[in-house]
Amino acid sequence: MDILIVGSGGREYSIALALKKDKEVNKIYLAPGNGATSQIATNIEIKDYDKLADFVIQNKIDLTIVGPEAPLVDGIVDIFREKGLLIFGSSKSASRLEGSKVYMKNFLKKYNIPTASYIETDKITNAEKFIDKLKNPIVIKADGLCGGKGVIIAQNRDEAKKAAQDMLSGESFGDAGKSIIIEEFLDGYELSVFAVCDGENYKILPAVQDHKRLLDGDKGPNTGGMGAYAPTPLIDDNLYEKIKTNIVEPTLEGMKKEGSPYTGVLFIGLMIVKGKPIVLEYNVRFGDPECEVLMPLLKTPASQLFHKAANGSLKNLSLEFYDKFAVAVVVASKNYPYSASAPAEIIIDKSIYKELNDTHISYAGVMREDDKLYANGGRVLLCIGLGANIKEARNKAYLLCGQVHFVGKQFRHDIAYQALVHD
Ligand code: AMP
Ligand code: GLY
């Protein structure tokens, strides 16, 4: 089978690595890929989705897997399906679950799926009235896609009103903030749960915990995610059952009723409050860095999972994972998440790296020049360790982290701390 992956991050790199191990897979392409994917697959420089579909037809590529949300929200799946191509991802109308927070919250309310109480508004007077009713802190969210920056946790009402005003005026996020959600703050712990769906059936993957804040101890600004581990002990069979019955199944039923049956991977961002799972958000793609810990744990050949989800035959897939744990530590550039950093050459101490079993790197924000690899993105790469328990996996990931060098390198030192406290 020949496969095209759309995207360029660590998530797409990890999917490519999983497919590379798969005997059923022949050629792997990435569009556009990055400076490291070119070493394990073929990078394609085609941005236009119609032209990309034509490339898939010309090269007889059997399956396309879409990594990030932007092409899904733009309707890449509909374009490929119209041309009779097999593609893993959500349709344009189903992608509104991520593309519009107002759509998502109204969907949750309509189908009685637990979520934080909220209002949606495009008027500052309504916003202020609701803010006055809430306790601190207060959560303000822009409706549209803001590259992971559209959520403000305001510490008091004045801050909340200012954030709402800045969004509604277009100052913070342009048109994406012209409509906003204001909601109550939920106090609990977060989990990322993924359901791979084919429109009819679904398979739940092991729950992952991400670390959204930049600094140790969950301090500093929110980021796209600074590290993840799976499976997490913060979930048990009882909680999985509640998530399936109260969230996944009503979501898939609801999407069918809305005329947008869900295909691809549904990422449910949950807050667990006193044992109750509450939906913070849906995403219509794999999480990043969550994908980088799930892919190496996948025992079932990756092509089977993606192919069967894309062609509607998930029902007869037996999905298996290794009886192991994975920890991923994100290594980011100097100014992340505030601004871009100057490109910095990446040097990896290979003498020791070779001795590290069960570790690998997933490359994200990197470019290649004169056969040297440079850090040129916010999140540059991820060091992943696998082990019989979380402690072992974490030690390996951090050992590998020590072998990676570039100017301005920053990473968190406490990934998986909640699981180790649990041990
Ligand atoms: P979202 O993009 O909606 O997942 O929000 C980004 C992050 O903001 C989440 O991962 C949470 O850490 C935090 N967050 C969002 N909504 C809430 C809420 N209602 N209560 C507490 N934290 C929240
Ligand atoms: N790691 C969270 C996300 O991908 O949105």
Name the closest-CA residue to atom 7, ligand 1: 151
DSSP state, residue 311: T
- Fill in the amino acid letter for 303: S
For residues 9-25, average pLDDT: 98
Ligand 1, residues 181, 280, 418: which to mutate, most atoms within 8 A of Cβ?
280
Mean pLDDT of all residues in 95-99: 96
**Confidence at residue 145, expressed as pLDDT on a 0 to 100 scale:** 85
Write out pLDDT tens, residues 234-291.
999 999 999 999 999 999 999 999 999 999 999 999 999 999 999 999 999 999 999 9
- List the structure tokens of 208: 């992952």
- Domain pair 123-178 / 325-422, same fold: no
Please report which ligand is nearest the Cα atom of 280: 1
Distance 372 CA to ligand 2 centre (A): 29
CA distance 414 to 390: 12
pLDDT digits (tens, 9 = 90+) for 311-339: 999 999 999 999 999 999 999 999 999 99
Note the CATH number of domain 325-422: 3.90.600.10
Residues with CB under 6 A from ligand 2: 210, 224-225, 283, 287-288, 290
**What would the mean pLDDT of 349-357 be, rounded to a whole number?**
77
Q: Separation of 209 CA from ligand 1 center, angstroms?
A: 14
DSSP, collapsed to helix, strand or coil, labels residue 309 as helix
6: tokens are 């759309």
Residue 112 CA, distance from chain mean position? 25
Q: Calculate how far, in angstroms, residue 285's C-alpha sits from the geometric centre of ligand 2.
A: 9
Average pLDDT over residues 401-416: 97
pLDDT band at 221 (very low <50, low <70, confident <90, very high): confident
Higher-scoring residue by pLDDT: 326, 421? 326
For residue 346, pLDDT over 70 is answered with: yes
Per-residue DSSP letter, 321? B
- Nearest residue by C-alpha to atom 2 in ligand 2: 287
Q: Which fold has domain 123-178?
A: Dna Ligase; domain 1 (3.30.1490)
Residue 17, pLDDT > 70, answer yes
| pLDDT confidence of residue 353 | 65
Q: For domain 189-316, give the CATH number.
A: 3.30.470.20
Cβ of 190 closer than 6 Å to ligand 1, yes or no, is yes
Of the candidates 363, 325, 317, 367, the one whose C-alpha atom is nearest the C-alpha of residue 342 is: 367
Ranges of each domain in the chain:
3-90, 123-178, 189-316, 325-422
The pLDDT of residue 377 is: 82
Best of 153, 173, 182, 187 for a ligand 1 pocket test (most atoms within 8 Å of beta carbon): 153
Domain topology for 3-90 = Rossmann fold (3.40.50)
Q: Closest ligand 2 atom to the C-alpha of 148?
A: 5
**Which residue is it, tokens 């399906």?**
81
151 alpha carbon, closest ligand: 1
Q: How far is the CA of 82 from the centre of ligand 1 (A)?
A: 36
Residue 6 near residue 55 (C-beta atoms within 8 A) = no
Tell me what percent of the residues of the chain surpass a pLDDT of 70.
99
- Cα(50) to ligand 1 centroid in Å equals 35
The residue to mutate among 139, 209, 226, having the most atoms of ligand 1 within 8 angstroms of its beta carbon, is 139
The pTM score is: 0.95
Q: How far apart are CA 177 and CA 239, in angstroms?
A: 34
* Residues 148-204 pLDDT 10s: 778 999 999 999 999 999 999 999 999 999 999 999 999 999 999 999 999 999 999
Pairwise CA distance, residues 247 & 111, whole Å = 10
Distance (angstroms) between ligand 2 centre and the Cα of 252 equals 21
**Nearest-CA residue for atom 5 of ligand 2:** 287
Asked whether 73 lines ligand 1 (CB < 6 A), one says: no
Instruction: With a cut of 60, say whether residue 423 has pLDDT above it.
Output: no
Structural element, H or E, at residue 189: strand 189-198
Mean pLDDT over each residue of the chain, to the nearest integer: 96
The pLDDT confidence band at residue 422, using thresholds 50, 70 and 90, is low
* Ligand 1 nearest atom to the CA of residue 184, by list position: 19
